[in-house]
Amino acid sequence: MTKARVLLADDSVVCRNVFVILLENAGYEVTSVFDGQEALKALRTSPFDLAILDNEMPNLDGIGALTELRQFLPDLPVVVCSGTVTSDHIVQYRALGISDILTKPVDPRTLREKIARVLALRHAPAPTHSASGLPRAADDAPLPSPLIAGPSKIAAKLSSDSLRLRDFRSVAIIEGRHGSGRFELALNAAPVTNSHKVVCHATEVSAAHLDELLKPAHEQHLPPFLVVLEADRLDLPRQALIEQLVRGRLEKHADLSKRLRLVLCAQDSLCDLHFNEYLLMRAMATTYRVPDFSTRQEDWVDIAKAILRRASSGKDSFGPAALKWIDQQPWPGDYMQMHRMIELARRQAKLTSIVSAMHLQLALAAEAECSEPLFHDMLFHVHSGGD
């Protein structure tokens, strides 16, 4: 397998030497240079998979180098690694399209994990679209959720949680308040192919409705992936019914029980509600919390870019002023509202494929009154048995 090629620009000899050793030990081919000018020269003459830039460098700093390289390498992943990045710098870097920001001194494991994640996203298969019109990834890998985008510790933990979620075998619990994106994180844990994904509100759980939802799994011989929303509203009889389904004690679905994967989405902690003990025990090691969107301001720009990239299959982009507006906006809503706002703004910008700050402002004003089903409404409709 060909090694990924990484360009490192840092005026500190010590930092360069340490980074080169760490990255080469991780299996990358590394070229190190002194400043932004040397970085641009290297990027113009040789192909690279990733660039790591210091912020303060002689002759040409990180922002100057990134501004120029975006003229000829608009899609190259760039990670900024520095101890001198201010909030103003972050706005500028995000407007120029960075993959991540790392603060020196960098923990070696964090460095390797971040670089691996950025490169994995770069080489991920291009998205296609399902018969329903919803984007999907090729083969058996889901598209990364915009929820995991961003440089914060919260984003890093959500990214790790989303990977672990893909490997759970029976029952998982995802807690988070309305609009946190817990539904999307739940569906993102399911394989894109070779499974039957179904969604059900807690108040709709019944033996008859489960029969209806799981019928295609029987007919197509596919393992079912069931998401129950608002699980904290499940009364005792419904909890018992789901327990019987998981245990394989519902005669109609006994053959599915060993292949069934269940995600319970709840606003409040199910442990605090004296929930069904069997289900809690099965989910003991796979319980996750999605934080409120208001705590993720550091990630808003990256999340917005990921939403737009997914909604347009990479065809549309934000103008610099739009990214600055998102970064400085005292956002009044949640993840779902941001998703809807960006979809509406994209429709307004369809003639140019560039979403401006004005498009976003108009879309934000219109979002509350919009009754047209958009991305998450379509997700629920498709997986809850809708036509």
Q: Just give the CATH number of 294-375.
A: 1.10.8.60
The Cα angle at residue 65 between residues 62 and 66, in degrees rounded to 5: 85
Question: pLDDT band for position 137 (50/70/90)?
Answer: very low
Mean pLDDT is lowest, of 51-60, 143-152, 292-301, for: 143-152
How far is residue 169's CA from residue 165's CA, in Å, rounded to a whole number? Answer: 9
- Could you tell me the pLDDT band of residue 135, with boundaries at 50, 70 and 90? very low
Distance between CA atoms of 276 and 240, rounded to whole angstroms? 7
Q: Which fold has domain 153-291?
A: Rossmann fold (3.40.50)
CATH hierarchy code of domain 5-122: 3.40.50.2300
Query: With contact defined as beta carbons under 8 Å apart, do 67 and 40 qualify?
Result: no
Lowest mean pLDDT among 93-107, 221-235, 306-320: 93-107
Residue 108: HSE in the Cβ half-sphere, 13 Å Cα cutoff: 10
Q: Where are the domains of the chain?
A: 5-122, 153-291, 294-375
**pLDDT tier at 340 (50, 70, 90 boundaries)?**
confident
Separation CA 270–CA 265 (nearest Å): 10
- Spatial separation of the C-alpha atoms in residues 53 and 36, rounded to whole Å: 8
In the chain, the percentage of residues whose pLDDT exceeds 70 is 88
3-state secondary structure 61-87: CHHHHHHHHCCCCCCCCEEEEECCCCH
Burial 44-55, CB ≥16 within 10 A → b, else e: eeeebbbbbbbb
| 61-70 pLDDT tens trace | 999 999 999 8
Half-sphere exposure of 310 (CA within 13 A, CB side): 23
Q: What mean pLDDT, rounded, does the chain reach?
A: 85
Please check whether the two domains, 153-291 and 294-375, share a CATH topology.
no
The H-assigned helical ranges of 193-252 are 207-220, 236-247
Q: In the structure encoding, which two tokens stand for residue 347, read together?
A: 């429709």
Q: What is the pLDDT of residues 16-31, one digit of tens each?
A: 999 999 899 888 999 9
